[in-house]
Structure 1
Amino acid sequence: MKTLKFLPLLLLFALASCDAIKVNSDYDKKVDFAQYKTFAFYKNGIDKVEISDLDKKRILRSVDEALTAKGFTKSETPDLLVNIFTKEREQVDVNHFNAGWGYGWGYGWNPYFWGGNTSVSRYTEGTLYIDLIDAKKKELIWQGDGEGVLTKDTNKKDEKIKEFVTKILEQYPPQKK
């Protein structure tokens, strides 16, 4: 009976974990990141990103806000070029719950739960990459990525994209140990 009390809590945790954004970053360990003070968007790279122009604007606006909050300024002669690219994939989760009596998990006979319960959920998982390129050398110096569930709700897109960008750019500049 105790298991049934914790089942709703377990389901809530599972749904909340689907909404989390996982972030990673990598960087050139020989670079002094303190030298970078200005940025601009790398138009040639951003034009190739295959997402809607509205989503591009949302991402670029969020990147602009996050970098400005870190003390960077936009410039015609930048220290850094900012590039983005995205990947998306359809995910399908199949869950089966059987509360039968008998030997082992989900094995046996129960007149109340005959056959168990199977649920299928589909969602889109996306990855946003943010590249920071040394403008003079034209070399990638830092890359961050965030992976999480995307929303189709236009009222929540701004919020979700801002969350992606903020979490990714929290990792910049890298903390050297």
Structure 2
Amino acid sequence: MKKITLFLFGTILMMSCSGIKVATDYDSKVDFSQYKTFAFYRPGIDRADISDLDKKRVLRAIEFELVAQGFVKSDDPDLLISIFTKSRRKVNVQQNSNWGYGFGWGFNPWMGSMNNINVNEYTEGTLFIDFIDKEKKELVWQGIGTGALKIENRDKKEERIKLFVKEIISRFPPDRKR
């Protein structure tokens, strides 16, 4: 029983640590099993408002996840993949009030409260990954991931980008058994 409880607690903790909210939308009339190949849609990617280095990181992560699902990168693809990004500064303010009493050195009683205010400023990023039917030139699936951007160093940034992409692509195709 203890092992099951520990496993469930660990799983919940790991899921909550990613802190990435994912939403998807798709055309319910599309048969996603017809898609086998993909390529990146450069005109859309070029408009994404992130550095060229981060674009490369995102595209590598997308390619890795799609190939892991059995898709093939091709010069004559079924799907075109595009990305779009948004970011905004967020401020999180928390107030903690603590009541207490005690004695200091000698006779110095005190009673009252201590207020702690924590202010945390961070950047929240949103990554849109669009899957476009090449023949119809129509958007058929969109994944959107939103979460805090933790940019402590290059390795942490790359790890965070991979996690964003993995969370989003794990929901594609919509009828896939998980």
TM-score (norm 2): 0.81
How far apart are residue 114 of structure 1 and its match?
4.0
The whole-number CA distance in structure 2 between the counterparts of 1:167 and 1:37 is: 20
Structure 1 stretches of 4+ with a deviation exceeding 6 A read: none
Partner residue in 2 for 1:27? 26
The structure with the greater share of residues assigned to strand is 2
Which secondary structure state, in structure 2, belongs to the residue aligned with residue 71 of structure 1?
Answer: coil
Matches within 5 A, 1:78-117: 78-100=77-99, 111=110, 114-117=113-116
Which segments of 5 or more consecutive residues in structure 2 lack a partner in the other structure?
1-11, 101-108
Measured against aligned partners, the alpha-carbon deviations of 1:5-46 in whole angstroms (never above 9, x if no partner) come to xxxxxxxx9xx9575111111100000000000000000000
Matched, 1:41 2:40: yes
Which secondary structure state, in structure 1, belongs to the residue aligned with residue 23 of structure 2?
Answer: strand
Matches within 5 A, 1:26-175: 26-100=25-99, 111=110, 114-153=113-152, 154-175=154-175
The whole-number CA distance in structure 1 between the counterparts of 2:111 and 2:140 is: 60
Identity %: 53
The whole-number CA distance in structure 2 between the counterparts of 1:69 and 1:113 is: 59
The whole-number CA distance in structure 2 between the counterparts of 1:147 and 1:135 is: 27
Which secondary structure state, in structure 2, belongs to the residue aligned with residue 171 of structure 1?
Answer: coil
How far apart are residue 100 of structure 1 and its match?
3.3
Which segments of 5 or more consecutive residues in structure 1 lack a partner in the other structure?
1-12, 102-109
The one-letter code sitting in structure 2 at the alignment partner of 1:164 is F
The whole-number CA distance in structure 2 between the counterparts of 1:58 and 1:111 is: 56
Asked if the contact 1:19/1:149 (under 8 Å) is kept, the reply is no
The one-letter code sitting in structure 1 at the alignment partner of 2:37 is T
TM-score (norm 1): 0.81
Q: Residue 172 and residue 164 in structure 1: after superposition, are their counterparts in 2 closer, same or farther (change >3 A)?
A: same
Which secondary structure state, in structure 2, belongs to the residue aligned with residue 57 of structure 1?
Answer: helix
How far apart are residue 175 of structure 1 and its match?
2.1
The whole-number CA distance in structure 1 between the counterparts of 2:23 and 2:45 is: 21
The whole-number CA distance in structure 2 between the counterparts of 1:39 and 1:112 is: 68
How far apart are residue 152 of structure 1 and its match?
1.5
How far apart are residue 166 of structure 1 and its match?
0.6
Which secondary structure state, in structure 2, belongs to the residue aligned with residue 76 of structure 1?
Answer: coil
How far apart are residue 50 of structure 1 and its match?
1.0
Which secondary structure state, in structure 1, belongs to the residue aligned with residue 98 of structure 2?
Answer: coil
Which secondary structure state, in structure 1, belongs to the residue aligned with residue 156 of structure 2?
Answer: helix
Measured against aligned partners, the alpha-carbon deviations of 1:130-176 in whole angstroms (never above 9, x if no partner) come to 00000011000000011111022222111111111011011001028
Over aligned residues, Cα RMSD in angstroms? 2.3
